[in-house]
């Protein structure tokens, strides 16, 4: 299995190389040269298997010879052992045809743990084998950063620097990033928004001298390993609702397009998915793009679902690559236009995207109303991102079972949840002292050179 860049000119890589490389050297994102498929019988055989066994079946065809089967099974087992639910990603029924897929039972209470815990294991195994040391730099709107710091804290072969937009993450998210005491993890509060943080990560990858000097690696969904690990729960959910014998639809609260892209990969692998619905908050660039065919940046507005306050949606590039028939030059040209404010998708590519993804958006008021209504009518306290999801899903309910991804635990967003529902969701006991732990954070300007200087100064050699 080889991985190729969405911009067409970087060298193709193995899974291990793509995982450790992050962004391709032409600025693109790595994708598998071909997506392997699983047959009807293979998918049917997943019924009744553990999450870990399904994870092995789904991911094995993508990893080539990076790990032996025995080692890969061990890494998967270690990744999910700390989850607080035996099913790892349990399904909860809301209505006759609407289900929630709870993805918040990992250590940092958001879906990011599914991929990050596994990536942490895979990095550790690969770096122990090679004796190399890397510097991970990541951008977060709150959840990727906390999951990355949790997964990599204390690891000897890795320094981790996470940039988050100052004042724009929830207090729980911030404290999850600023309270770990291990000296290899660093939280950087940037005076900017998430898009600024993500642009800084990509600029660092494109600064080849810096990239070599610090041995830069990435754990944002730039990293194919992140997307791959998220494909698994589409399979476990769909199979428990009757796939491959019947189709299932998914609604996915979306910002950087990583999670829904994982659903798209599951469909390409052969999972019978009817609708893949993109759910956005009022930062609705993805919804507008799917409605109009024009990707046009507007400013980012802070919302009560802050993890989705994104305008430059990184993985949309992976979808565009397929929409343009895997023409890297066409994607590179559109990404150049994006730097100037936006681009028009060509008719054929737009048709493919419209055929593949449905979409909707939730205003702040609709998000709050959904939190209130699902508590009153279903007894479920939702995080604001999940509330965006169920609001949008309601417009797409039909005869096919609909699964809305519950991407975070309500306790991660206590203020927004309390304002909407009157209820303060408690943190799990293991985090009960989160508010008492001392914080360690470095405030930095939205200035690439200044951020790079902090990173170089802090790296542990």
Ligand X SMILES: N[C@@H](CCOP(=O)(O)O)C(=O)O
Q: Which does 254 bind (CB under 5 to 8 A by kind): ligand X, ligand PLP, none?
A: ligand PLP
Question: Does residue 142 belong to the site contacting ligand X (CB under 6 A)?
Answer: yes
Question: In whole angstroms, how far apart are CA 284 and each of 180, 235, 288, 312, 346?
Answer: 34, 28, 6, 11, 20
74 included as an active-site residue: no
By beta-carbon proximity to ligand PLP, the closer residue of 184 and 313 is 313
Among residues 145, 165, 263, 389, the one that binds ligand X under rule CB under 6 A: 145
Report d(CA 313, CA 320) in Å as an integer: 11
Residue 158 parent element (H or E): strand 158-165
Closest separation in Å from C-beta 186 to ligand X: 16
Of the ranges 87-95, 142-150, 318-326, 449-457, which one interacts with ligand X (CB under 6 A)?
Answer: 142-150
Q: 3-class DSSP state for residue 253?
A: strand
Min. distance of Cβ 255 from ligand PLP in angstroms? 4
By CB under 6 A, is residue 220 in contact with ligand X? yes
Is 376 exposed, middle or buried (CB count within 10 Å of its CB: 0-12, 13-18, 19+)?
Answer: exposed
Site stretch for ligand X (CB under 6 A), options 12-20, 74-82, 252-260, 398-406:
252-260
Decide if residue 221 touches ligand X (CB under 6 A).
Answer: yes
Tokens standing for 264? Answer: 């798209």
Quick one: DSSP state of residue 401? -
d(CA 327, CA 4): 11
The distance of closest approach from Cβ of residue 388 to ligand X in the complex, given in angstroms and rounded to an integer, is 12
Selected range binding ligand X among 209-217, 254-262, 263-271, 355-363, rule: CB under 6 A: 254-262
253 touches which of ligand X, ligand PLP, none (CB within 5 to 8 A by kind)?
A: ligand PLP
Give 110 or 229: the residue with its C-beta nearer to ligand PLP. Answer: 110
C-beta of 15 vs 104, nearer to ligand PLP:
104
Q: Are 123 and 133 a contacting pair, CB within 8 Å?
A: no
Instruction: Fill in the per-residue mask, 294 to 323: x = in contact with ligand X (CB under 6 A), - = not in contact.
Output: -------------x------x---------
Closest CA to 224 of 79, 78, 17: 17
- Contact status: 218 vs ligand X (CB under 6 A): no
> Cα angle at 129 between 125 and 130, to 5 degrees?
120
In angstroms, the Cα distances linking 36 to 42, 51, 82, 265 are 13, 20, 30, 9
- Here the tokens at position 62 are 């993508």
192 near ligand X, judged by CB under 6 A: no
Catalytic site residue from 49, 74, 112, 340: 112
Q: Which residues bind ligand X (CB under 6 A)?
A: 140-145, 220-221, 255-256, 258, 307, 314
The residues annotated as belonging to the active site are 112
């Amino acid at each position: 299995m080889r991985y190729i860049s969405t911009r067409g000119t970087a060298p193709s890589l193995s899974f291990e190389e793509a995982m450790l490389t992050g962004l391709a050297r032409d600025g693109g994102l790595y994708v598998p040269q071909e997506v392997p498929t699983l047959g009807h019988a293979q998918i049917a055989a997943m019924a009744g298997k553990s999450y870990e066994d399904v994870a092995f079946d789904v991911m094995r065809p993508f990893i080539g010879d990076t790990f032996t089967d025995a080692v890969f099974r061990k890494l998967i087992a270690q990744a999910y052992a700390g989850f607080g639910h035996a099913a790892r990603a349990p399904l909860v029924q809301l209505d006759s045809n609407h289900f929630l897929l709870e993805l918040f039972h990992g250590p940092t209470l958001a879906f990011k743990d599914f991929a990050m815990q596994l990536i942490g294991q895979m990095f550790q195994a690969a770096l122990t084998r090679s004796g190399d040391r890397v510097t991970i730099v990541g951008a977060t709107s709150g959840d990727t950063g906390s999951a990355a710091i949790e997964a990599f804290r204390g690891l000897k072969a890795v320094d981790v620097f996470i940039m988050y937009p100052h004042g724009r993450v929830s207090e729980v998210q911030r404290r999850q990033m600023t309270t770990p005491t291990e000296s290899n993890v660093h939280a950087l509060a940037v005076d900017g928004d998430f898009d600024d943080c993500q642009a800084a990560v990509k600029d660092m990858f494109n600064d080849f001298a810096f990239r070599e000097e610090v041995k830069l690696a990435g754990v944002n969904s730039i990293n194919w390993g992140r997307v791959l690990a998220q494909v698994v729960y589409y399979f476990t959910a769909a199979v428990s609702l009757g796939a491959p014998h019947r189709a299932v639809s998914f609604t996915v609260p979306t910002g950087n397009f990583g999670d829904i892209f994982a659903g798209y990969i599951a469909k390409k692998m052969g999972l019978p998915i009817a609708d893949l619905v993109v759910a956005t908050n009022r930062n609705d660039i993805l919804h507008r793009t799917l409605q109009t065919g024009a990707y046009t940046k507007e400013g980012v507005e802070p919302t009560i679902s802050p993890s989705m306050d994104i305008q430059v949606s990184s993985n949309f590039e992976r979808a565009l690559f397929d929409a343009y028939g895997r023409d890297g030059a066409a994607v590179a040209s559109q990404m150049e236009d994006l730097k100037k404010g936006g681009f028009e998708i060509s008719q054929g590519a737009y048709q493919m995207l419209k055929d593949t993804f449905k979409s909707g958006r939730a205003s702040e008021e609709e998000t709050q109303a959904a939190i209130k209504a699902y508590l009153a009518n279903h007894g479920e306290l939702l995080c604001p991102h999940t509330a965006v999801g169920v609001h949008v899903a309601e417009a797409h309910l039909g005869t096919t079972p609909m699964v809305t991804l519950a991407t975070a635990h309500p306790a991660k967003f206590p203020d927004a949840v309390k304002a909407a529902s009157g209820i303060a969701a408690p943190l799990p006991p293991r985090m009960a002292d989160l508010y008492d732990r001392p914080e360690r954070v470095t405030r930095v300007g939205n200035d690439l050179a200044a951020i790079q200087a902090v990173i170089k100064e802090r790296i542990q050699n």
